[in-house]
Structure 1
Amino acid sequence: MTLSVPGLSPLPASDRAKTVMTALADYIAQSGLRPGERLPTERELMQSLAVGRSTVREVIRQFQALGVMESRKGSGTYLLRGISSDTIHMPLSIDAGTLREGLLSTLDIRRGLEAEAGALAALRRSKADLEIIEDRLVAMEKVHLAEGTSGKYDLAFHLSVYDASHNPMFGQLLEQMREAFERFWSKPFDRPDFAGRSFPYHRTLFEAIAAQDAERARRETLTILEIVEEDIREMSQDTAPQSDKVQK
């Protein structure tokens, strides 16, 4: 009995797992499969793609690790969020009990990425890169001074620093975490005083990049993130229910 799935066809032998990921992502996007709906069975995927069970299971495990799919014992594998064939842009999910824990987890990743991106930007930036970074900084400063918060402008500034590193992987990794990063600017952290203390250090980071001082750029980046962590810890205390504050 043939169990082939329309829209899926046998794959070449080379790099099977990677090819299966792309093919399955294409299938999900083109078939209109929605979050909460069940994917084809392992056997259907094996026959449609002409690959072994171990390859199918490996790919499903990778999607599960990305928070894209969920396997339910005795029921099958279900889609948790939409994806495209450009798997590098699949969003990462953070399994945290509270917003505070999630933001602090994200911050750990930002330290590793942004400090190195800032240092590389200082070493590799071109004149054109520097102009873009400064334009983004000026726009951020203008909005911050007028409104007190500048979430999307702050993100745009950091994206320009990533671009100036001339390593596309930085930007791609940030895209995976964009949703988590943008939560920094959601309630209860959409207050004018959030990131206010770190705001001046964006200018000094730009100056370090302009001076091609990699170590200073790294230090300025870490200073920004250290202050942001302090703000998160302080503000999460301010917004916690009174019972929680008493317990703490």
Structure 2
Amino acid sequence: MSQSSQSRAPGKPSLARITVTDRTSAVAESLAEWIGRSGLQPGDRLPTERELMETLGVGRSTVREVIRQFQARGIVESRQGSGTYLLRAISSETIHVPLTIDPGTAVVRDKLMLTLEVRRGLEGEASAVAAVRATRKDIAKIEQALDIMERRHRAEGGAGDEDRRFHLAIYDATHNPLFRQLLEQMQDAFDSFFKEPFDRPDFAHRSFRFHRELFDAIRDGDAALARQKTLDILAVVEDDIKEMSK
């Protein structure tokens, strides 16, 4: 790490201690806010896990979950024996969209369906745009994520994190950061919902084959087919939501 990076290292401004109930979300927002205020740049190292635990007043599992989420979003990367490093500049505003779904209400299925309508428009368009704009490097990144997802799916019957990385790679291939910012927030809402009360690791597993077909369409530059394959995936999502909420 460069001397300039060390001069921006943690310490000033200080992180605010977390006192609210939703610790993971609060830690994520506090850490993003601190990154924005501190002037950290891509390539700079974040505070250590222990420093984050002590400063924020939360446990190791909460800190690790936040770092895992940031890794999945392409915000940070962890290097073995070295630490966690920033990949792109962020702030609390760039990672947070005021989208919430309350799984404890009787109308949660209706809320998910409303969100799904928006996802169809955004994700379908993202796939179509990626088919037009994706570079060779983008295609290689999407294919790598797909290969990992397929191996995990065949071995365990589900691949939640790997599936997420595949779709994030597509959003990045649009070269429009708004797709990723908006869609990953919607995906967060869905992820939190399906952990509880459904707890279904096989959710939407019938959409598995469409992911390879979606990649093929993007690789071949077929925007219309890429959009359709995305809609095919989301149709399975809708069917499973209806089935699980009976």
Q: Given the alignment of the two structures, is residue 89 of structure 1 paired with residue 57 of structure 2, yes or no?
A: no
Q: Shift of residue 94 of structure 1?
A: 2.3
Q: Which residue of the partner structure matches residue 35 of structure 1? A: 20
Q: Which residue of the partner structure matches residue 175 of structure 2? A: 166
**Structure 1 residues 173, 162: CA separation in 2 closer, same or farther (over 3 Å shift)?**
same
**Structure 1 residues 226, 184: CA separation in 2 closer, same or farther (over 3 Å shift)?**
farther
**Structure 1 residues 181, 171: CA separation in 2 closer, same or farther (over 3 Å shift)?**
same
**Structure 1 residues 30, 207: CA separation in 2 closer, same or farther (over 3 Å shift)?**
same
Moved segments of 4+, more than 6 Å: none
User: Does structure 2 conserve the Cα–Cα contact (< 8 Å) formed by 1:91 and 1:179?
Assistant: no
1:207 aligned to which of 206, 212, 216: 216
Q: Which residue of the partner structure matches residue 75 of structure 1? A: none
Give the % identical residues: 43
**5+ residue gaps in structure 1?**
1-26, 37-67, 69-78, 238-248
1:120 aligned to which of 123, 129, 147: 129
Residue-pair matches, total: 168
Distance 1:33 1:146 in 2: 39
Distance 1:185 1:205 in 2: 24
**5+ residue gaps in structure 2?**
1-12, 37-90
1:145 aligned to which of 134, 149, 154: 154
Q: Shift of residue 90 of structure 1?
A: 1.7
Q: Shift of residue 146 of structure 1?
A: 0.9
User: Does structure 2 conserve the Cα–Cα contact (< 8 Å) formed by 1:34 and 1:82?
Assistant: no
Q: Given the alignment of the two structures, is residue 183 of structure 1 paired with residue 192 of structure 2, yes or no?
A: yes
2:230 aligned to which of 197, 204, 221: 221
User: Does structure 1 conserve the Cα–Cα contact (< 8 Å) formed by 2:101 and 2:193?
Assistant: no
Distance 1:82 1:125 in 2: 31
Q: Shift of residue 204 of structure 1?
A: 0.5
**Structure 1 residues 92, 179: CA separation in 2 closer, same or farther (over 3 Å shift)?**
farther
**Structure 1 residues 93, 168: CA separation in 2 closer, same or farther (over 3 Å shift)?**
closer
TM-score, scaled relative to structure 1: 0.60
Distance 2:193 2:157 in 1: 14
User: Does structure 2 conserve the Cα–Cα contact (< 8 Å) formed by 1:122 and 1:208?
Assistant: yes
TM-score, scaled relative to structure 2: 0.60
**Structure 1 residues 138, 184: CA separation in 2 closer, same or farther (over 3 Å shift)?**
farther
1:4-41 C-alpha deviation (Å, 9 max, x unpaired): xxxxxxxxxxxxxxxxxxxxxxx9x85446438xxxxx
**Structure 1 residues 184, 228: CA separation in 2 closer, same or farther (over 3 Å shift)?**
farther
User: Does structure 1 conserve the Cα–Cα contact (< 8 Å) formed by 2:101 and 2:189?
Assistant: no
For the pair shown, the structure with the greater C-alpha radius of gyration is 1
Q: Which residue of the partner structure matches residue 133 of structure 1? A: 142
